[in-house]
Structure 1
Amino acid sequence: MLSNGGTKTPEFDCIANAGDRKETFRLFIEGDELYSAMLSSIAKAKDCIQLESYIYADDRVGHQFSQALIERARAGVLVRVHIDAAGSLFWFSRKMQNHLREHGVQLRWFHRWSWRQPWRYNHRNHRKLLIVDNRIAYLGGFNIHNENSRSFYGESRWRDTHVSFDGPLVDVASQLFDAFWQGRQHWVPKQENSGSKLLHNHTLMCRYRLRCVFGAAFSKAKQSIFLTTPYLVPDTYTLKQLRLAAERGVDVRLLVPRESDVPIARWAARHIYGSLLAAGVRIYEYLPRVLHAKTVVIDGSWSMVGTANLDYRSLFTNFELNLITRNMNLSCKLNDNFNNDLRFSERIELDSWKERKWTSRGLEYLAILTRRWL
């Protein structure tokens, strides 16, 4: 067990507020637990299953989902699966595709490669969403693959975060899925003012909506910003808001992975450590395994969990979907998870960071030049 720098992180009371009445949230940080819940919901489906995933692998986890989806399709349930072509390029297989389609599953690829429209391949559906019968929805960072399963991948499984919810938000999620399925990628549904909303990042009203929300949330923070991201490669504006928050006394803590599934993204992230550390931002690197979670807790009462990383691709290029909420129970649990992850993380100190090798600095500089593509 490692020290988190010797400074105690504030604790917040898990007391429900008025905005908690309409939805019930459940947080998942273990893949086996999440997959079991998702498969159980799929097995109970009577009318409709809507599933989209950035990665859907032809492995043991993927086979479990395929079998469950086929069983429901055979029973007359409408099953729609939307998979990103780039994200699943080396994970999915033609055999699995044909097997699903032959047994009644409607499978659609998002932005398959086209010589006529090559640049659309770079705009990816990074969303991970499951809706069953407009009754329950699952959203977060978990893809469908062995890497998130302790049973199949062992103790080195990836660390990720997902949330399930019921209530009016499920209908909003279903509408967003249908709009995306139909190619209406910028459509915005009406949402009740319940204290919780689903946020996608490209709309007709705001081209870079997610960037605006991040910036506004950071600028309004009064006590704390606890942010977990696997890829810390944001734009200049977002970086500035984090620095300004720290400079005005907000406790800003960033949790990033020491081991990354995209090493060049880690090098790029380390290139920007200096300005953040100098402003008073505390940066921690998670040590045990790959960290893939995307969460934010601000002042213990406002939180975000979903599919978006704090990088150029999520802020400007990919299609993402996040839950933002003032639900105190969910914020408290996310805060507790952040605290627990810090126990297994190493704090990066400015002095030691400045003393890193010149070879590392060179790699970091080269990596940051590619930040728009990471």
Structure 2
Amino acid sequence: MNSGSASFQLFSDPLRLYNSMLTDIENAKKYIYLETYKYGNDAIGIKFKDALTKKAKQGVEIKILMDSWGASVSHSFFSELIKLGAEIKFFKKIRWSWYSLTKNHRRDHRKLLLIDDEISYIGSANIASHSFNWRELTIRLVGDIAIPLKKTFFQSLSIFDKLFYDKIKLTRGIRHNGFEIIRDVPSELLQRHKIKFRDLIKKAKSEVIIETPYFIPPSSLRKVLAEAGKRGVKVSIITPKRSDVGMVDLLRSRFLGELYKNNVQIYFYVPQNLHAKVMLIDNKLFSIGSLNFDYRSFRFQHEISLIGKDPGIVKKIREHIDESLEDCELFNYDYWKKRPWVQKVFEWIFVPFRYLF
């Protein structure tokens, strides 16, 4: 689909997304760069490996960067690819030491597929079969946005095994033809997404919609969401009724009542896991990428998002959100108030450890 300066497609269905990715891989001429949090040792992982191996045999440059915690494969899985000259890197292998809970927790959560300086995929989907039935959101862009995204890929690749690096350089904002690329690395001070999202929500005039699989926002973002609701902005949070991380579902409950009392509408997606990560402001500005609206993503993970105002993309994201809402049920405040005291105790105990989930 063409819209202004952007030729794009949105994918909510993982099967359609994977088929599109594999077709683009098949047509690659120069390079294929893949960055992903999870890479499955399963039918999808094998399908992608075979497609990439075929292209390597044709002389196409292949580079894969996957997170060592999220991936369920090893170098041996890619042995033929490696023999053909492909570069396979596992981001930050787990090291057991006194700082395990802090350093090992800092994962590469980004999801990018870049091909030939022409095709870019950015969004929520990993390369794995377990999410076949999930509702995702990934955008495919045709154009030279691939060039600045390629720069971010190489910067991530350059620190795959480093404990220390220039965080300011690696989180510097990138603007390109009406788009803005926001990046985060683990940092207590920088947190570019949190700062950007806080400012966007503060400036919202009519509507804020956030769709996220895991909703445990830091206090500063809960504050601006509540303030927006109080000043008459329509604020909607869409999150799965039951995600794939049950502890997150428990912890988020602690914050929902207060937000509801400040006119924030909370919707639970019912059919299956909702894994899309998108924000829409005033039906004019969007953010789509890898970032979950939770403490862990804002503070501890390497994340990336694409922000823009392209009307065609906004329209399609709105359609995606409206389709999600058709399968949602509203948060029930009265039911929430009557939740068991045992649940309240667990919420209180585990909230200080929210960065672990």
- Structure 1 length as normaliser, TM-score? 0.88
Q: 1:170 offset after TM fit, Å?
A: 1.1
Q: 1:159 offset after TM fit, Å?
A: 1.1
Unpaired runs of 5+ residues, structure 2, are: 160-164
Q: 1:102 offset after TM fit, Å?
A: 3.0
Match of 2:14 in 1: 31
Match of 2:332 in 1: 349
Match of 1:340 in 2: 323
Match of 1:231 in 2: 214
Match of 1:173 in 2: 149
CA distance in 2 between partners of 1:122 and 1:304 (Å): 25
Contact 1:265 1:367 in 2 (8 A): no
Q: Does 1:141 align with 2:124?
A: yes
Find the residue that maps to 2:329 and give its secondary structure.
strand
Q: 1:199 offset after TM fit, Å?
A: 1.2
- The one-letter code matched in structure 2 to 1:23 is A
Q: 1:94 offset after TM fit, Å?
A: 5.0
- Relative to structure 1, the CA distance from residue 80 to residue 94 in structure 2 (aligned partners, 3 Å threshold; closer, same or farther) is closer
Match of 2:138 in 1: 162
- The one-letter code matched in structure 2 to 1:242 is L
- Work out which of the residue numbers 227, 250, 254 in structure 1 matches 2:237: 254
Match of 2:24 in 1: 41
Contact 1:203 1:209 in 2 (8 A): no
- The one-letter code matched in structure 1 to 2:240 is P
- Work out which of the residue numbers 112, 117, 126 in structure 1 matches 2:93: 112
Contact 2:171 2:185 in 1 (8 A): no
Contact 2:184 2:303 in 1 (8 A): yes
Taking only the aligned residue pairs, the percentage that are identical comes to: 29
- The one-letter code matched in structure 2 to 1:254 is I
- Work out which of the residue numbers 74, 89, 92 in structure 1 matches 2:73: 92
Contact 2:36 2:126 in 1 (8 A): yes
CA distance in 1 between partners of 2:4 and 2:49 (Å): 35
- Relative to structure 1, the CA distance from residue 282 to residue 41 in structure 2 (aligned partners, 3 Å threshold; closer, same or farther) is same
CA distance in 2 between partners of 1:325 and 1:232 (Å): 23
Q: Does 1:320 align with 2:303?
A: yes
Contact 1:257 1:285 in 2 (8 A): yes
Q: 1:97 offset after TM fit, Å?
A: 3.6
- The one-letter code matched in structure 1 to 2:93 is R
Deviations 1:44-72 (A, max 9, x none): 11111110110000100000100011111
Contact 2:284 2:309 in 1 (8 A): yes
How much is the aligned-residue C-alpha RMSD, in angstroms? 2.1
Find the residue that maps to 2:65 and give its secondary structure.
strand
- Structure 2 length as normaliser, TM-score? 0.92
Contact 1:23 1:169 in 2 (8 A): no
Structure 1 ranges of 4+ moved more than 6 A: none
Q: 1:321 offset after TM fit, Å?
A: 0.7
Contact 2:36 2:65 in 1 (8 A): yes
Deviations 1:20-79 (A, max 9, x none): 533222100011111011111111111111101100001000001000111111111110
Contact 1:312 1:373 in 2 (8 A): no
Match of 1:4 in 2: none
Match of 1:306 in 2: 289
Aligned length: 347
- The one-letter code matched in structure 1 to 2:352 is L
Q: 1:312 offset after TM fit, Å?
A: 1.0
- Work out which of the residue numbers 69, 74, 83 in structure 2 matches 1:102: 83
- The one-letter code matched in structure 2 to 1:178 is F
Unpaired runs of 5+ residues, structure 1, are: 1-13, 150-156
